[in-house]
Structure 1
Amino acid sequence: MKVSLEIIAGVVVIAAITLASTVFAPLALALFIIALVWPMQCVLQARIPKLLALAITLLVTLAVGVAFASLVAWGFGRVVRPLINDAARYQATYNSIVAWLDGHGVSIAGLWAEHFNVRWMLRTTQLVTGRVNTTLSFWLIALVYLMLGLLEVEEVRHKIRALDNREVARVLLDGSAATAARFRRYILVRTLMSLLTGMFVAAFAWVAGLQFAVEWGVIAFALNYIPFIGPFIATLFPTLLAMTQFDSWQEVLIVFVCLNVIQFVIGSYIEPRISGNMLSISPSLVLFSTLLWTFLWGFFGTFIGVPIAIAVLSFCAQHPSTRWFAELFGGSKRRTKLTSDLPARL
């Protein structure tokens, strides 16, 4: 009965989060940003009035967000138009591949050809990449959450410390501190790896003679913040362009393979060694979180899924009854101990 009630409660919570995404998605974004910018807010308000420090923090945050969005819009705007213009050529290429498969007995290719349309696929891709949750209401709600949250952090901390249940207070305080520290480490590592990925992709595109080399580097930089899905898209788009620019399929295959090698080496070899034990998290949990929150919240869920998983692991590591979950999906006992000891060392 207890397990059944827990399952039902979980389903109800997920349904509520999905139906009320207009409220919860901006809140999640605001909490994530608060964890990133709170050290700057603390330094500023120790030297100047609190409201002035808040204004400076918000302005810096908005400036960074606008600069990043403008960079992404510039990169996609430059490369999507040629892809749309060459849609007919992509359709012809696909039809020739279908004909070749049919000639070799792969009959299902004919069924795909009846329903597959490259122009429709490109239009859909353009729509998805253009929206990116940029509705005015979403960002306004997130901005209000961010402003009020920065004003109330200290007050909420004092209220938690005053709780009669000392164990709950300890879990909330230590879990929040661990989560915020891991968020900052996560975004730092992601930014460094994104810069490295963008530079290598741009350099390879320039050496290979691929058009829009700088733009492909910018796109790879931006999409690297999204686990799994982002690198796949950053590899797919240049390959599509290479299909119209190069005459032989061998050159297209080389572009595809080299881009995947860059993504694999940086994402699967360099990044885990730089991030170290602090961000220890199971790859299966990363993939599950990315897919789950993408399903619940769309494109924004793709970005916020991993931070939510990091927060869940950080809080689970603070209590004996849930520590098993952090140990199971967060790495070895040594890594869990490092995460649990983080608030004390901070």
Structure 2
Amino acid sequence: MMPDPFLQADKLGKGINLGNALEAPVEGQWGVTLQESYFKIIKEGGFDTVRVPIKWSSHAATEPPYTIEEAFAERIDWVIDQAQSQGLNVVINVHHYDELFDSPEAHKDRFIGIWRQIAGRYKDRPLSLYFEPLNEPHGNLSWRAWNDLLADTIAEIRMTDTRRTLIIGTSDWGGIRGLTSLSVPEEEKNAIVTFHYYDPYLYTHQGAEWGGPEVGTTGVTWPGPPDSQVTPADAAIKIDWVKRWFEDYHSLSPDKNPAGPEQVVRDFDKAAAWAKENDRPLWLGEFGAYSKSDMASRVKWTEFVRSEAEKRNIPWAYWEFAAGFGVYDRQLGNWRTELHKALIGGVTVTE
């Protein structure tokens, strides 16, 4: 019998991303190498699901049939085995396929060829394994191009695996705004639609070393307006939209503030309305605030976003386990208590 995607979504429950590991060009290059112990820690920490970002494109041939390196595939087998042995659901995706975002047409066949192999390798796995075709479509992979590629990729997967639940992301870097342009093939019923949430970006990504000058201002607190003014970095204030954002952040009341809780409520209402209209279950596949933010703000923001998702029966996966956004401290070997409680402590924030 075909799985009910709404039940499959419910089973995802409380999730966490195993970030900065297998989506690096080489595992460990970004500071995280997955350990067997992590899966037990995550399960005992109250989580139901692990999302595993994977850069398959660094481990597949560039010529047909685009063979995936066996040693790398076996490493993914091990990750799935470890998760499932702990009773965790597993979501595997294609992450950071940068060449596809730059040149979609040139990489279409390779992308589909990679999924042909993934589908064939895991077709007999329990349905607690989910496939997410692509993380955060963007760049030259426009929404139209993504809808076309998605349809072709789903058709390829379904030639091999007809029962696996698929998790479909939006264009526009996976954001809520991408929902309105997303087109999942009408005949594809066994699918969950995912979105990511990092708003306000100037708060959640403040001080991110990989970001541009717009995120160079630290000391941004949540919610706004702040108790005292934050002086934007010189390079940031030269960007018009950033300058306007800080003006509103400092001056507007909480209900209108770009870093206010009401903005989160409005965003999640839009997502829930889209899901109802399109009769599709949702999954909040990523959300988190970078460690350059003060912990009190991180806890408030994380708890509020988690709560708003749960109010709308949207399961979620926090970004991420144990790196720059991490809820777990690998050096000390314990959870960051307040942040962990904000996720799984059962505390509900009232509006």
Structure with max Cα Rg:
1
Q: Same fold, TM exceeding 0.5? A: no
**TM norm structure 1:** 0.27
Greater percentage in strand: 2
**TM norm structure 2:** 0.26
Larger RCO (alpha carbons 8 Å, 6+ apart)? 1
Greater percentage in helix: 1
